[in-house]
Amino acid sequence: FQRVAHLRPVRLPGGAAAIRRPARMAYAYLLDAFPADEAEKLARELLPGLPQSEREAVAWQVRSGSNAPWSSGAGRLFDAVSALLGVCDTADYEGQAAVELEMAAGDERSEAYPFEVSAEGDARVLDLRPAIREIVHARRAGEPVSLLAARFHATVAEGIVQLCRWVAEETGLRCVCLSGGTFQNVRLLEAVVTGLENSGLQVYWHRVVPTNDGGLSLGQAVVAGAILAT
């Protein structure tokens, strides 16, 4: 296996605490996309459920890296945007922020926000800081949350499709398998499948085996069995 592309890593302030508190991830993304002083002002405005003491703790963890490992997971990105849009700042169950963000998009259809793709050795990095800035500006301007949520989904989908096209051009591979808990999001899945198929790629996704940790565990067992059998 070779990792050929990933999201730009962001600090996970407080480790597991950031998973339970999407507002923490939102502040981490603000600190990544804006100067520290501006990020603090935006957090006070957009994340009212994150008290000053917690903001100070998050800022220190992000700066120092103490109890704040790097994360390039899509789940934490969805958590952050969900909190920034005022949809969910505290999660009572796994994936709540992402589920509610998908629901918030409703039936809206929209174009993607801007993003960047950069090279990191032989890999590509999907940098969504431009999108985060646009989301913040639009939120402050009072644009409908449903539209912002829809545009965010379109942005992630377009980023995935562009990266897959690049891999196909570089390797000649034409088959794409979509897996992982992020693809429980039907809106995202449909957008990515459509984009990939329109690009002439063959797409596979889960129909019987779960796309989240259940399917991951089964896949690990299959790979381990194949290795042991050789």
Return the pLDDT at 54. Answer: 96
Tell me the per-residue pLDDT of 174-193, one tens digit each, with 9 for 90 and over: 999 999 999 999 999 999 99
The domain of 89 spans 5-229
Return mean pLDDT, the chain.
96
In 5-31, which positions are buried (b, 16+ CB within 10 angstroms) versus exposed (e)? bebbebbbbbeebbbebbbbbbbbbbb
CATH number at residue 224: 3.30.420.40
Q: Report residue 207 as tokens.
A: 């129909």
Return the pLDDT at 126. Answer: 98
What confidence category does residue 119 fall into, taking pLDDT thresholds of 50, 70 and 90?
very high
pLDDT > 70: percent of the chain = 100
Tell me the per-residue pLDDT of 30-50, one tens digit each, with 9 for 90 and over: 999 999 999 999 999 999 999
Residue 211 and residue 173: Cα distance in Å, rounded? Answer: 22
What confidence category does residue 136 fall into, taking pLDDT thresholds of 50, 70 and 90?
very high
Tell me the per-residue pLDDT of 75-107, one tens digit each, with 9 for 90 and over: 999 999 999 999 999 999 989 999 999 999 998
Residue 230 and residue 224: Cα distance in Å, rounded? Answer: 10
Q: What are the angstrom distances between the C-alpha of 203 and each of 29, 156, 178, 195?
A: 31, 17, 7, 10
What confidence category does residue 109 fall into, taking pLDDT thresholds of 50, 70 and 90?
confident
| Mean pLDDT to the nearest integer, 60-89 | 97
What confidence category does residue 124 fall into, taking pLDDT thresholds of 50, 70 and 90?
very high
pTM across the whole model: 0.93
Number of domains in the chain: 1
Return the pLDDT at 230. Answer: 87
